[in-house]
Chain A
Amino acid sequence: MENKKRPVFLDLTRIDMPVMAVLSVAHRITGIVMFLSIPAVIYLLGLSLNSPQGYEKVTSLFDSGLFRLVLLMALWCFAHHFFAGIRYFMLDLDIGVDVVNGRKSAWCVLGAGLLVTVIGMVVML
């Protein structure tokens, strides 16, 4: 922190990003997005439980394509963070810390998150 003149290379288009790095960044971004969604989630949950009118309002939101798209994005965030979380637990237990397995499990996390999102998409259609 002290050496303000130290060389800094942060050209994201030229840094070689292995899957694990992408996963790590995505885990952080999904966590922040979910943090920002907390008020909306609590608001809708309260609305749906407070009165029959509120319940109708929330369920009728599902008719909107935009709302369903937002919901799918939210599902993807959660699913990705969830599976990446499991992967972190495995790394904490020293399972699959080597490059080969670390890369494999990173691809599995990406795939599992997408799979859950696709299932959600099929259910919603």
Chain B
Amino acid sequence: MCVGRGTASDSYRHGGDVMSRKSIGLRTWLMQRLSAVYMMLFVVGFAIYFISNTPASFLEWRMMMANTFVAITATLFFLLLLVHAWIGMRDVIMDYIHIDGLRLLLLTGVGFALLGAAIWITKILLTVTV
């Protein structure tokens, strides 16, 4: 496995060796991929489900999303999406922003924005009742 194909930020922090040093880079790398795999499965599964039972009204749409299985898998999808986006944006910011203060500001901003999004979407998806 070519695990070393990390981002510039990974190699920057680990002196070029992503596999070593407390494996912080490796763990986020793995999380980035695991979340991507779940997203792929969910999107394909949901698209097939949606196309074969396309809701034609508000009530049908709400009923579809109120289904326990759909609600839980969709919430998990969005939470993993936000984790994935966090790791991705963190890498992008670390690659381009080398001014410490600005980097911290951007990372904090993105982090809180994603946290807010997580609470928002969870509240929407888990409070749908018929």
Contact = CB atoms under 8 A, between A and B. Distances in A.
A76 to B, nearest CB: 15
Interface residue range, chain A: 20 to 34
Contacts of A55: 57-58, 61
Given A34-B85, A35-B89, A92 B61 contact: no
A92 B88 contact: no
Contacts of A85: 36, 40
Contact of A89 (B33, B98, B117): B33
A91 B2 contact: yes
B102 interface: no
Interface string B106-130: 0000100010010011001000100
Contacts of A39: 117
Given A92-B1, A92-B2, A31 B88 contact: yes
B105 interface: no
Interface string A85-106: 1100101111001000000000
Contacts of A31: 85, 88-89, 92
A102 B17 CA distance: 24
Residue picked from A1, A28, A94, A97, most chain B C-beta under 10 Å: A28
B1 A45 contact: no
B65 interface: yes
Interface string A34-49: 1100110010011011
A32 B89 contact: yes
B21 interface: no
A107 to B, nearest CB: 20
A52 interface: yes
A97 B2 contact: yes
Nearest to A32: B92
Contacts of A51: 58
Interface of A: 1, 28, 31-32, 34-35, 38-39, 42, 45-46, 48-52, 55-56, 82, 85-86, 89, 91-94, 97
